[in-house]
Homo-oligomer: A and B are copies of this chain.
Amino acid sequence: MSTTPRDALRSWFLGPRAENAELLERLVTEALRDHVFWRRNYHPEDGFNIRELDKRTEGYEEAVATLTQELMGLLAELKSDVPFFSGRYKGHMAYQQTIASQVGYFAAMLYNPNNVSIEAAPVTTRLELEVARQLSRMVGYDPAASWGHLTSGGTVANFEALWMARNVLYLPVAVVGAAEELGVTLEVDRPGPGGRARLADLGLYDLLNVTSGAGLDLWQAVWQAAPARDVSEALSRHTLGTAGYQDYGRRLSAQFGDPLDDSVVLVAATAHYSWEKIVRALGIGSNQLVFVPVDPYYRLDPDALWEQLVALHRRRAPVLACVSVCGTTEESAVDRLDLVLAVRARAERELGITFQVHSDACYGGYAASVTWRKDGTRRTAAEIRATTGETWPSDDWVQSILALGGADSVTIDPHKMGYIPYPAGAILLKDRRARELVATDPPYLAPAGGTAGAGDEYLGRFIFEGSKPGAAAAAVWLSHKVLPLDERGYGYLIERTVIGARRLFRAMEGADFSPFRVVLLPEPDINIVCYVVHHPSLTSLEEINRFNERIYQAMSLGRPGDAPEYIITRTRFEAPMYDGAVDPLLEALGMTPAVWRTAGTGGLVVLRSTVMDPFLCDPPPAPDHIAGFISALRRVCDTALATRGRRRDDP
């Protein structure tokens, strides 16, 4: 690099004081005018629908007056919005967006492309697929074998991942039924001791324990063995999506006479609350959502996972998928995905069972950019540490990131650590064939010059959503061009936030809060600092919770007119999800797990400071928002203690 990303970073955002206002205005104006003259260059021989004289009518002027007035009203209201852009905001995972993404979004929005199909978005559909390939490469997938696309966000991305996983799980069951109808004989490699077997000889439990790759191979084999139309119909007849759960369940028990337990979804106990919505909506049921305990670093515990697998195998409950998290929403913890994959390999080897692994990297996925050099090779942990000047990242952390390439699917939200405007989630599939299992053909969207389902140009066929903004794809694409997914771009940006978070962590650790005591969670895997404030006069968990809730309220914008010096947020660690993990924290607060588990306490209130601000670690003369935050927190602690029970709405 001839230049340092330190200087480039100064151009990436509008800036906490809108320092780059001229730049943003120049580009926005450029994009707008460019669009204007595009319209004027399209069949300039056509006449005009809006004439200059029309603009002098009373109706026109009144309408423009209304528009201007109402916009002024909206702008006035927006002044009560949250100052995400400021170093004083240390709350949710929100910050300002890259200028590239803002301008890219705006420029494309003027064209109004709809990425449901290339016919409605010839440019931005291509950009979306390019962006998905970039993300696939970043997580370590083979871009030729994988596939991905953008979604409206992480919930839909994770929903789609589990929907795909369910189709992959039941695929061997569908194939065995179709193959029988078609008179096709197939063989399959079973994991571990099972070895190669005739598909028709397998029981239901064995069919649900075929690896995803072997299942997709079977599926391809049956397509090659008979005419496409027959295969399509036969597969459809034996597919869960066609039959529905109620009928499928009855059929399978009749066909296999096998009273299997319901298939379960294993999720890290720290997984996002949306997983519960997802399993409920999919008809899987939240009872089948099995939490895997996390360790005191809030990472999925691989030993606990193994024990659960053994127990599930004992009662012959198939595992639909295991969801590991890369960057938990509350702590930014990065699961040891390498160890999760090792557990799967062991389960295949020793138990002859398998399952799909999904990485929910909605928050943390972009951190993988830290591991890439600009020449497309990987940096070692030691090399990265040399540039961060921190003990971060550990060798294990880098191993966890490298393991992303071994997951069957990964979800990543550009609208989180990609610093892109909402809505931009992404789902990536390691094996692109899986997308065919959810394909639907809208009759009016097949592209000209190709048959329906021809391929990539026709996104709507393979995704859950329909109409969606091409502008989001343009935003991600332009941002990736300006901030490459390696040490020069996103890698540098995210490194800075991690350094900022760690400096904040250490400053809080070293600060004198007496008589208060700030009990910190372990140093974060990425950039969220969590803590609980204690005071000797607080003798019960309820009191500690109420006190921290008051701190949160004093440092948030809950009521109109609130003007906190700094803004944070909070969460609650509840049983059973945080069983075990929370013990060191409780101990430091002088509490016991038993008290915490008691119903009615509302778990443990934990304060959170997300550091998405890459400038937090800037040296003077930049503002010192670490020292500023600590002294503000100290003052708030005093007030929160003094006003205890005084406010009418004291919780």
Contact = CB atoms under 8 A, between A and B. Distances in A.
Contacts of A464: 155-156, 159, 277, 281
A469 B249 contact: no
Contact of A31 (B71, B108, B242, B603): B71
A82 B273 contact: no
A276 B152 contact: no
A60 interface: yes
Contact of A246 (B249, B441, B603): B249
Nearest to A152: B152
Interface stretch (A109-117, A137-145, A179-187, A308-316): A109-117
Contact of A244 (B47, B75, B159, B288): B288
Interface string A395-415: 000000000000000000101
Nearest to A554: B448
Given A36-B21, A112-B97, A444-B608, A74 B474 contact: yes
B100 A67 contact: yes
Nearest to A577: B443
Contacts of A106: 106, 109
A283 B282 contact: yes
Contact of A423 (B58, B74, B468): B468
Most buried by B among A8, A438, A625: A8
A156 B467 CA distance: 10
Nearest to A483: B63
A375 interface: no
Interface in A1-32: 2-8, 10-12, 14-21, 23-25, 27-32
A444 B104 contact: no
A98 B614 CA distance: 36
A644 interface: no
Given A59-B4, A81-B122, A285-B241, A466 B246 contact: no
A286 interface: yes
A572 interface: yes
7 closest cross-chain pairs (CB), A and B: A244-B285, A7-B59, A283-B283, A448-B558, A245-B245, A152-B152, A3-B59
A134 B438 CA distance: 36
Contacts of A432: none
A306 interface: no
A120 interface: yes
A229 B14 CA distance: 48
Contact of A39 (B16, B54, B159): B16
Contacts of A241: 280-281, 285-286
Q: Which of A100, A111, A618 is the most central at the interface, judged by chain B CB atoms within 10 Å of its CB?
A: A111
Interface stretch (A85-93, A191-199, A585-593): A85-93
Contact of A46 (B17, B229, B571, B603): B17
B248 A285 contact: yes
Contacts of A474: 74, 78
Given A42-B86, A465-B156, A623-B49, A3 B66 contact: no
Interface in A476-492: 477-478, 481-482
Nearest to A26: B68
A287 B242 contact: yes
Nearest to A63: B8
Contacts of A15: 39, 49-50
Q: How many copies of this chain does one complex carry?
A: 2
B152 A423 contact: yes
A238 B203 CA distance: 31
Contacts of A421: 109, 112, 469, 471
Contacts of A77: 123, 127
B273 A54 contact: no
Interface string A268-307: 0000111011011111111110000000000000000000
A646 interface: no
Interface in A231-268: 240-250, 262-263
Given A11-B67, A14-B39, A280-B242, A47 B622 contact: yes
B49 A273 contact: no
Contacts of A286: 241-242, 244
11 contacts: A10-B59, A39-B83, A70-B478, A74-B104, A74-B474, A244-B262, A244-B288, A330-B443, A423-B423, A444-B571, A444-B572
A441 B273 contact: yes
Q: Which of A119, A248, A250, A466 has the most CB of B within 10 A?
A: A466
A202 interface: no
Given A49-B615, A112-B422, A444-B569, A467 B67 contact: no
B49 A622 contact: yes
B63 A12 contact: yes
A570 interface: yes
A466 B153 contact: yes
A380 interface: no
A204 interface: no
Nearest to A153: B467
Interface string A27-55: 11111111111111011001111110011
